[in-house]
Chains A and B, each alone.
Chain A
């Protein structure tokens, strides 16, 4: 398996524009997580899905952020409109249904909003 795949790896956009980040989890995994990493706040859980259903979105910073998982092999995180404070590295991770299993992370998308 190729692991968790995120695209794009880097995104530079202007303030006010819509940004869409994409994630393909590992096949067969039941859980998908979106994290945001910044120097100031560290690694923050934004939202996670179980079998394509959003379970906890309490970490989503505000209504400008939305996430979807239309099927088991694809998820998106959308920011509309984007702001400079959204600049961060966004990670997607997936895990199987096992209390003993780790989360498998993608390489991340570095977002810069200018």
Chain B
């Protein structure tokens, strides 16, 4: 079956540091890929997505590129802020949205 693997963290960085959170997936077909963010006490919010190979999703300074050859969708940000402290989930979907699969989440803490 489909699955998503991501570094579980926690990840602790200083403000303005470079961020990478690795995500790899296993899928039988050709999935869409997503990064969600969850701030404390809130639900999951879509951060960015990519729907085909070599697509780059971007939002709020975060980027991730759909790499079919390595089945990866790593999240990056060049300069993190304290306000980026949250849990980040990598996810995929196939079959018209009926099969969302989430990774375990990576907790990020950014220190001033």
In the complex, the answer to whether A33 meets B43 with C-beta atoms within 8 Å is: no
**Could you tell me if A33 and B44 are in contact, using CB atoms closer than 8 angstroms?**
no
Contact call A100/B51, Cβ cutoff below 8 A: yes
Q: In the complex where A42-B104, A43-B89, A43-B102 touch, is A103 in contact with B43 (Cβ < 8 A)?
A: no
Count of A-B residue pairs with CB < 8 Å: 59
- Decide yes or no whether B94 CB sits under 8 A from chain A: yes
Contact residue range for chain B? 20 to 34
A43-B89, A43-B102 known; A106+B97 contact, CB < 8 A: no
Q: Return chain A residues, CB-CB under 8 Å to B98.
A: 31, 48, 50, 55
Q: Does A15 belong to the interface (CB within 8 Å)?
A: no
30 contacts between A and B (CB under 8 A): A4-B43, A30-B97, A31-B98, A42-B102, A42-B105, A43-B44, A43-B102, A43-B104, A43-B105, A50-B98, A55-B98, A91-B44, A93-B44, A95-B97, A97-B96, A98-B96, A98-B97, A99-B51, A99-B94, A99-B95, A100-B32, A101-B97, A102-B34, A102-B49, A102-B93, A103-B100, A105-B44, A105-B45, A106-B43, A107-B42
